[in-house]
Amino acid sequence: MLIDEVMWKLLVSRLRSIITAPKASSLSKLDPSRPVRGTHDRFGEKDVRYNFIQQTAASVAESYCFEHFTTPILEFSHVFERTLGNDSDIVGKELYSFTDKGGDHLTLRPEGTAGIVRALISNKLQQFLPQRLYYYGPMFRHERPQKGRLRQFEQFGIEMFGHNNPASDAEIIDMAWTFLNKIGMGNRVELEINSLGDHVSRNQYRDVIRSYFQKHIERLSDDSQRRVKTNPLRVLDSKKPQDASTIASCPVISDYYTSESFLRFQNVCKMLDQLGIPYKVNPRLVRGLDYYEETIFEFKCTDKSLGPTQDTILAGGRYDCLVKRMGGKEEIPAVGWAAGIDRLALLITPSLLPLPNRHVAVITVPDKSDSPSVSSELMIASVQISKSLRTKGIKTLLNHPRKSQFLALKTAIAQAVKSNASHVVIIGKNEVETGFVSVKDLDLNTQVECKAEDVWRIIESRSD
């Protein structure tokens, strides 16, 4: 009997291992050359697009006296769990969180504001207000990848601390509008703006819409039915078609503003009118994060090329209570926005991208009869001339031999033309012996000889 029990246990264990073992087909899909789903490699024109957007945004931010600020990609998990709202999609479904070997609970940042606020408190910067900060870099959310939505994505954002006047809201919206125009998006976006009111306004409105949604609970999606109990404001942010008609008929928050919130939002709108920034008040606009209050806004792409649920390319608002919520001693007025660089990179017109600086190609052309030592001398001369050009700020490409085989002169020049070089510097045995080299202008198809130390003058005289 004992033997039968042992055999039975062995059989069950074997069956379990067979059932749980990965299938051969799934193992074959583990290709080490594939990127992780929802991520991509960036190079060539795609990288030019990203750099153009980041550099333009940084230039605009600095013109408004904002300073660059960098925070870690990794934060303690509670930085986001305390600030974004436990009922948000980000905290509930999308965080990349793990426990490290030391037992700390860490999260790859899903957005930039919470990390900036944590840094403000950690570095005691709230003692030196106001603060105007901008940042850019990768963020991480476990979403279903689609056009304009990646699991590792790039954001550019700005945060302003210490100003509570409505003019600060208008100023950062004006900054966003200026940035979008500089990258050619001004006629392809629509600004939607709303106010979530102050604490009193939101509490009153929250009770009203909870009662409204409870009356129509059967028409809502499962997620929205759950949020009616926990945070009914989040139902307004639902992108599910099933919820659209119920949301469209719900009461609007503007009917429940306190007099202070009403006047504040009115002043923001007046300032936008004075600045000539077109906008539309959307009374049902909410933001997907719990810390927003008062003014909120979204710039949406009007050509719908990203799809109906991915059309927001830049968004932000005010969050005066966030610093205290994260452990600060008191509330600090704060407002900011963030732009999705991945989506903007899909939309910008290629003609706006800066042309790359053209380079000079240095070509080594030994004779077939030259000994290896002569060829080595030619390469030394080529390296020296390349270095001298670079010290003058001239972009230089040194053509190295492939497997000790030098290209024929005609072939080397053809490659230089293909790579969009402006000039080629030709170095052969005669050039090394005489101290003179040949410089060919690929645009004018002219060629001159000059001393090696004068090559940079020839090239700069042509660029002038």
Residues annotated in the binding site for L-histidine, as ranges?
111-113, 141, 155, 159, 287, 291-292
| β-sheet with 67-68: strand ranges across | 67-68, 131-140, 152-161, 334-340, 312-318, 293-301, 189-195, 280-281
Residues 6+ away with beta carbon under 8 Å from 434: none
Query: Would you state the structure tokens that stand for residue 209, as one six-digit string?
Result: 């819409």
Is the bond leading into 130 cis (omega within 30 degrees of zero)?
yes
Q: Are 315 and 151 in contact (CB under 8 A)?
A: no
DSSP letter, residue 287: -
By the 10 Å C-beta count (0-12 exposed, 13-18 middle, 19+ buried), 425 is classed as buried
Which long-range contacts link 264-272 to residues 24+ away (Cβ below 8 Å)? 264/166, 264/195, 264/294, 264/295, 265/166, 265/195, 265/294, 265/295, 267/166, 268/166, 268/169, 268/170, 268/193, 268/195, 268/295, 269/193, 271/166, 271/167, 271/169, 271/170, 272/170, 272/173, 272/174, 272/193
Residues 6+ apart with CB under 8 A from 170: 268, 271, 272, 275
For the chain, the straight-line distance linking the first and the last C-alpha, in angstroms and rounded, comes to: 98
Beta bridge partners of 75: 107
Binding positions: 111-113, 141, 155, 159, 287, 291-292
Pair type for strands 423-427 and 436-441:
antiparallel
Alpha-carbon distance of 395 to 443, in angstroms, equals 17
Strand ranges (DSSP E) for 282-398?
293-301, 312-318, 334-340, 360-364, 396-398
Integer angstrom CA distances of residue 370 from 364, 376, 443: 12, 10, 31
Ranges of H-type helices in 74-198: 78-84, 89, 113-122, 166-182
Q: E strand or H helix at 206, and its extent? A: helix 199-215
